């Protein structure tokens, strides 16, 4: 084993793996050996027909990270209705949960090109026009591995967040990185970096009984 681990329990990893943006250490490199260790763990995730039809693209090159970040921001600011990164809302004690999330997301967008590593998981094949069965089978065959990867990062003091706003430019990103666009679908993009501190709290969530049904709606 190469990475220094936090020795969290399974429940602690599952309940404290947060979307990390403002607490990413942009200056500390993430070792390739640690990333590969986490991929090895993710490889154990369940997958349709035991096929492991995924691939992993990691981006360290500063110019390529900058190009992806530019495409991300070109989609991000219109999506949230802001014109520029200087509109990041101030976060204070009176901020609502939504305002805190928006502030965090805008902070990451502004500094996205600085993250040590970007991860882009891929699923074999294109899903345009696929029916519900194929969509569910395909996503269900890759997203468990992605989540296992994020949990493994957490155990090693590394944070990330699940982003998808580069996907309107998926073809351009594929060309930039040499990904065969017709053969692979990009699942998302995950900024990766060691966290500033390793203590993360449980999030506030609606109690399970509010949205669980038994036998009938």
CB atoms < 10 A from the CB of 60, how many?
Answer: 15
pLDDT confidence of residue 144: 95
Lowest-pLDDT range of 14-23, 122-131, 161-170, 188-197: 122-131
Among all chains, which residue has been given the structure tokens 């936090």? 6
Question: Buried b / exposed e across 106-138, counting CB within 10 Å, b at 16+?
Answer: bbbbbbbbbbbbbbbbbbeeeeeeeeeeeeeeb
How many angstroms separate the CA atoms of 125 and 183, rounded?
5
Given a contact cutoff of 8 angstroms between Cβ atoms, the answer to whether 170 and 92 are in contact is no
- Say if residue 82's pLDDT is above 60: yes
C-alpha distances in Å from residue 9, one per residue of 4, 13, 21, 198: 15, 6, 23, 14
The model carries a pTM of: 0.91
- Hey, what CATH class is 10-60+115-200 in? alpha beta
* Residues 7-41: tens digit of each pLDDT: 999 999 999 999 999 999 999 999 999 999 999 99
The helix-helix angle for 143-155 and 132-140 (nearest 10°) equals 30
Tell me the DSSP string of 109-140: HHHGGGSSEEEEEEEES--TT--HHHHHHHHH
1: confidence class by pLDDT, cuts 50, 70, 90: very low
């Amino acid at each position: 084993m190469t990475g220094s681990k936090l020795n969290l329990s399974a429940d602690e990893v599952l309940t404290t793996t947060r979307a990390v943006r403002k607490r990413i250490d942009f200056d500390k490199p993430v070792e390739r050996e640690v990333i590969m260790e986490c991929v090895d763990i993710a490889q154990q995730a369940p997958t349709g027909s035991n096929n492991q039809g995924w691939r992993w693209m990691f981006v360290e090159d500063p110019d390529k990270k900058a190009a992806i970040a530019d495409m991300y921001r070109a989609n991000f600011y219109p999506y949230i209705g802001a014109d520029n990164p200087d509109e990041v809302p101030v976060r204070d004690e009176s901020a609502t949960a939504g305002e805190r999330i928006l502030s965090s997301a805008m902070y990451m967008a502004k500094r996205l090109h600085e993250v040590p590593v970007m991860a882009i998981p891929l699923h074999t094949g294109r899903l345009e026009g696929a029916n519900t069965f194929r969509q569910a089978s395909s996503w269900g065959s890759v997203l468990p591995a992605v989540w296992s990867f994020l949990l493994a990062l957490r155990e090693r003091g590394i944070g990330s967040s699940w982003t998808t706003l580069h996907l309107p430019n998926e073809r351009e990103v594929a060309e930039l990185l040499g990904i065969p666009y017709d053969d692979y679908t990009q699942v998302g993009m995950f900024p990766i970096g060691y966290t500033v501190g390793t203590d993360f709290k449980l999030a506030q969530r609606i109690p399970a009984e509010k949205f669980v049904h038994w036998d009938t709606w």
